[in-house]
Every structure is written in C-alpha cells, then in structure tokens.
Amino acid sequence: MLTTDDRYDGEAVDRLVAGTYYFRGISPAQWAEYVGARASLDALSSASRAEQLMELLPFVAELVARDRADAAADDLHSAAMAGDLQAAGADGLDAVAGAEGLDAAAATKELDAAAA
C-alpha cells in the first residue's frame, strides 16, 4: 500500500485524479467510481481519505505512483543539469525505472483488453 505524505493528502489526490480525467487519462466510468468513493469518505481526515482512496481504487494508487516517479525523474533531471548526480542518488534512478515499468504494465493491460 502506498502511504500518504505531505504531497499526497486528500486534496492533492483529488487534484491529481481530476486533472487526469480532464486530460482523458481515466475513463468516465473511473471518474464516476472515484466521485462515489470520494463522497463516501468525506468524514475522514484528508490523509486518511487519500489512503482509503488508494486502497479502494487501484487506478488512483497507480496515478499517485506515476506522479511520484515523475517527480523523482524531474529531481534527477534537475540534479543532472546542475551537475550534481550524487545528490540525486539511487532513489531517483529507481523511481525512473519504476515509472517505465508502470507504463509498460498499462500498455500491456490495454493490449490485453483490445485482444479480448
């Protein structure tokens, strides 16, 4: 399970999912599923709500993982541009590799769905 941090509270997850829907990154059915789940969790604190949404809806956890990987890749790129690769560390490289793995997994799911 992904855990929330300062960057991924309930409002940040809301913005991430809404932005992804706006740019057609998730289907209308996924959006409706998210809105329904989100409404049922209104009484929870922001951090708890984000954790529950990631547990209930796998596509939300995948979006957060991709966003984290993109942020790590941006940090790595910034460090490389500044000539400070030691500051980026192995975590940045692992995150970039993880993002590529997520993209490959998403592509595989799309191909499987198209073949069915």
Minimal CA–CA distance to 25: which of 98, 102, 94, 95?
Answer: 102
Pairwise pLDDT comparison (43 vs 101), residue with the higher score: 43
Query: Residue 63: left (phi > 0), alpha (psi -120 to 50), or beta?
Result: alpha
pLDDT of 1: 35
pTM of structure? 0.64
Residue 78 C-beta-side C-alpha neighbours within 13 Å? 8
Q: What are the domain boundaries of the chain?
A: 10-115
Q: How many residues does the chain have?
A: 116
Q: Each residue of 69-108: pLDDT tens digit?
A: 888 888 888 877 777 656 555 555 555 555 555 554 554 4
Phi–psi pair at 3, nearest 5 degrees: -105, 150
